[in-house]
Structure 1
Amino acid sequence: MTILPWLSALQRQLEPWPMAWPVTVLAALLGVAWLANFVTKKILLRGLHHVIERLSGPEHDTRLALRAVERLSNVVPSVVIASGLSLVPGLPAALVVLLQGACHVWTVATLALAASHAFDASNAFYERRPDARNKPIKGYLQVAKIIVFVLAGLSIVATLAGVKLLHVLTGLGAATAVLMLIFQDTLLSLVASVQISGDGRVRIGDWIEMPSQNADGDVIDIALHTVTVQNWDKTITTIPTKKLISDSFKNWRGMRQSGGRRIKRSIYLDQHSVRFLDDALQPRIYQFALLDDYLASKREELGQWNAQVAAVHPEPVNARRLTNLGTFRAYVERYLRTHPRINQNMTLLVRQMAPTEHGLPLEIYCFTASTAWAEYEATQSDIFDHLLAILPEFGLRVFQQSSDAMFMGLQRAQDCATPVVRG
């Protein structure tokens, strides 16, 4: 027995009840839509899940790709209902148009969301590439999302208004200026994203410093509108993408790529401790192995000079002599030249700066062999620990503003020494 005679017999049986047959057909349509949804999600999608996971491998996350497919599967029941509404007898034409429009709106919105998930999956797949950090595409995909959602919104408006999408797009020409004003930030961010991606001024993983935005840390995300920075105190700062074009900031990537991190720090010396090397200092100074070549060359140089001057002016004031400060400066330079954690291929110098009210600055300018923060700080601390400890051997003192601690100690000593008169 065929299906059509069976349906005809069922329709004749329901003739005493006028609404029974339309309700039965509508229920059957909903049942077919549910069945199509069940087959799509429980059978087709499950099999597709296994295929995608097997092709991607267990080390890759396939949830984003599966979300796009799952969202796309929601189109099936709406398409079935929209196609079968014309078969339901007795429904008013206006109601059929309304329900078909609702199905169309659902279909368009679902397709837009599925496209959004597909873009997210594409970005996740692209970020697996080694060069993805240098050329992020997240901003471009966000622009594509905006275009998809704008077109979806226009299609929904055209459906609800009962006009064609082409007519809606034509009418937008008059509103271009308004739309540019509304999407001004988006357009500026798009231009900034294209420029950032093109010249590579900011990449994911870069350490940037932007005081105007309270940002000082690593870039963890580059999007269309914002660049996300995780600061060193583990707080998160979002910077408008266009700010990276209009405002100044510091990118420390060059430091990391150079293979050395700069040390630029001064020791402030007490100028009253600077003097010539006398008989008391010379025995200690000549014990430093790092100064052997320096002292030998200086002895020869000063000996020749003084011999020439002494022939005309034999007074000691006209002779050249070594100073403890100059000798200490030579020692610091040789100490850095032989330090295993100092990059010897980069600039290294020890220079005397202009005296200040805080003392005489002796600046150490060099680069560490490691750019890691912890190793850099450890190397810098070790160097200055040694230099501060070795200063007294050269008869030098560090300049330090005095506090009242010494005077308070003297006052206590005097109070303790003063006899107490008891009446």
Structure 2
Amino acid sequence: MMDFDALKYYSCWLQEFFIDQGMHLGLAAALGTFINLLVVILVVTVLDIIVRKVIVQAFKAFSVKTATTFDDYLVKSNFPRYIAHFVPLAIVWEIAPILFIEYPIITKIIFVGANIYLVILCILVFRSLLRTTRNYLQGKPDYYDKPLESYIQVLMIFAWGVGVFFIINLLTGYSITSLATLGAASAIVLLIFKDTILGFVASIQVSVNDIVRIGDWITFSKYGADGYVTEINLATVRVQNFDNTYTTIPTYSLIADSFQNWRGMQESKGRRIKRAIFIKQSSIKFLTPEELEDLKKIQLIAPYIDHRQKDVNHYNKQVEADKSLLINGKNQTNLGVFRKYADAMLHENPAINKDLFLMVRHLAPTDKGIPIEIFCFSYDKNWENYEHIQADIFDHLLAAVPYFGLEIFELPTGKDIVNISTK
């Protein structure tokens, strides 16, 4: 224990020494107090350095020997350093009334400063524990994609709010428990932290309803975001776009506005391909028997043409259709055969998931031709591979269109206009 009698003797000895040297009583007391203050600052500083090094090294040695990573995160978040500061603070608390017994006002100021420092130190320790908990939980599979940063920020705002109230109480002596004070503080908090409160509520809804996780691919056109969520905190959601830029989105916008989350696609058994080829309407026609024979050379649809033509011939025979005109009775069209070819090609493609929905269909005619839409799902959901699969399918279909006597619609180019004008 600290020898307070010896400390008190030392404090008085300095003053008596200066008086014996012929110094005025008041000046001797002031000079002795000033020297005592310098000694206290020096001793506390040295002691703080020593205690901090001892505690930090002890924590590091302990964390190396343990299997859990929680204590490792405690060291990284400076928890031992903050704990070490309590020892010098306790010493100042004990020796200040003795060293400055002649100046109670100085003792009071030191006590107020020590109390304020204690409040701040407690907040820093609390912050260190929160950061340690966050880093520890982010290493767990159940929590790595949760918006832990939002909850930590809310708790820190609450901690600093309580700390500010205590500091105001220490400086002014005004009670922080009165209804008037709490009411005024609540109004100020609501006014200043409106966006923070909205973000906090949104963070809870995002987490509880599992709307967005860290690592999700989202598309938010309003903010130009298209990429992976890297961070969810109290005020903003950070998205790394595919061009390696970053977009920040207000957290409450995830609740207030509409956006697209691709997680469902990533967790499913395939990624959807939905794209149309526009066929020039004037190129569509009935197929003659000679043309059907030529198309039978295409192996994928030869069985279909034979089977379909038998049905057509049977029907035409029943209704006694006059086949001097192709329009009479039933007939196969080049567009219908092409549609069946596209369907057969997709069924033969190993990159397409046949267990999911697969369809080739007509859409309503437009001023740009008749859309033939491909609707299917690729096994590979990786963006780059998906685009390659999709490109391979449409490269082939676009090249196959002329074999069926069809044409792809496209608007006239400058060369087309020049050719027309020269005729």
What TM-score does the superposition give when structure 1 sets the normalisation length? 0.87
Q: What is aligned with 1:160?
A: 171
Mean Cα deviation higher: 118-127 or 283-292 = 283-292
Q: Does structure 1 retain, via aligned residues, the 8 Å contact 2:7–2:98?
A: no
Q: Deviations over 1:183-202 (max 9, x none)?
A: 32222222111111101011
Aligned pair partner of 2:362 in 352, 360, 371: 352
Q: 2:20 aligns with which of 8, 12, 16?
A: 16
Query: 2:282 — aligned with what?
Result: 272
Alpha-carbon distance in structure 1 between the residues aligned to 2:414 and 2:50: 87
Determine which of 293, 297, 302 is the counterpart of 1:287.
297
1:222 is matched with which residue? 232
Residue 419 of structure 1 is matched in structure 2 by none
> Contact between 1:64 and 1:118, CA under 8 Å: does it hold in 2?
no
1:24-57 deviation line (CA, Å, top 9, x unaligned):
5444433442343133112221121232244367
Aligned partners of 1:219 and 1:226: how far apart in 2? 11
Contact 2:59/2:75, CA 8 A, preserved across alignment: no
State the aligned residue count. 409
In 2: Cα distance, 1:5 partner to 1:71 partner: 30
Cα offsets for 1:279-316 (capped at 9, x unmatched)? 55333311122113312321221121011122x75754
Give yes or no for contact 1:53–1:62 (8 Å, CA) kept in 2.
no
| Cross-structure match for 1:49 | 60
2:218 to 208, 211, 229: 208
Letter aligned with residue 81 of structure 1: V
Structure 2 unpaired stretches of 5+? 22-27
> Which AA in structure 2 matches 1:355?
P
CA contact (8 A) 1:352 1:362 kept: yes
Q: Partner letter of residue 204 of structure 1?
A: I
| Kept after mapping to 2: 8 A contact 1:261/1:370 | yes
Alignment of 1:24-423 (within 5 A): 25-55=36-66, 62=73, 65-163=76-174, 166=177, 171-310=181-320, 316-317=325-326, 318-406=328-416, 408=418
Distance 2:77 2:380 in 1: 44
The alpha carbon displacement at 1:63 in A equals 7.2
Match of 1:421 in 2: none
Contact kept, 8 Å, 1:227 with 1:239, in 2: the verdict is: yes
Q: Check 1:61–1:376 CA distance in 2 against 1; reply closer, same or farther (3 A cut).
A: farther
Change (3 A) 1:78 1:351: same
Matched position secondary structure for 1:158:
helix
- Taking structure 1 as reference, are residues 44 and 126 closer, same or farther at Cα in structure 2, changes over 3 Å only? same
CA contact (8 A) 1:79 1:107 kept: no
CA deviation profile, 1:318-357 (whole Å, cap 9, x unmatched): 2322111111100100110111111111111111122222
Q: Is the 8 A contact 2:295 2:302 kept in 1?
A: no
Query: How far does residue 407 in structure 1 lie from its aligned partner after superposition?
Result: 5.1
Give the equivalent residue in structure 1 for 2:25. none
CA distance, structure 2, for counterparts of residue 65 and residue 339 of structure 1? 53
Distance 1:87 1:269 in 2: 98
Distance in 1, matches of 2:362 and 2:150, equals 50
| Structure 1 unaligned blocks of 5 or more | 415-423
Query: Structure 1 residues 400-409 or 127-136, which shifts more?
Result: 400-409
In the alignment, residue 16 of structure 1 is paired with which amino acid?
A: D
Structure 1 SS opposite 2:201: helix
Equivalents in 1 of 2:93, 2:172: separation in Å? Answer: 18
Distance 1:237 1:60, change over 3 A: farther
Equivalent in the alignment of 1:417: none
Cα 1:215–1:64 shift into 2, 3 Å: farther
Q: CA-to-partner distance for each residue in 1:132-155, whole Å, 9 max, x for gaps? A: 145433222211111111111111
Q: 1:143 to 1:385 in 2, by over 3 A?
A: same
TM-score (norm 2): 0.87
> In the TM superposition, what is the alpha-carbon distance from 1:163 to its structure 2 partner?
4.7
Amino acid in the other structure paired with 2:117: W
**Which stretch of the first structure deviates more once superposed, 15-24 or 238-247?**
15-24
Q: Contact (CA 8 Å) 2:55, 2:80: kept in 1 or not?
A: no
Runs of 4+ with deviation above 6 angstroms:
3-7, 57-61, 409-412
Q: Which amino acid aligns with 2:331?
A: R
Closer/same/farther in 2, CA of residues 5 and 232 from structure 1, 3 Å limit: closer
- CA drift of 1:259 comes to 2.4
CA distance 1:89–1:238, shift in 2 (3 Å): closer
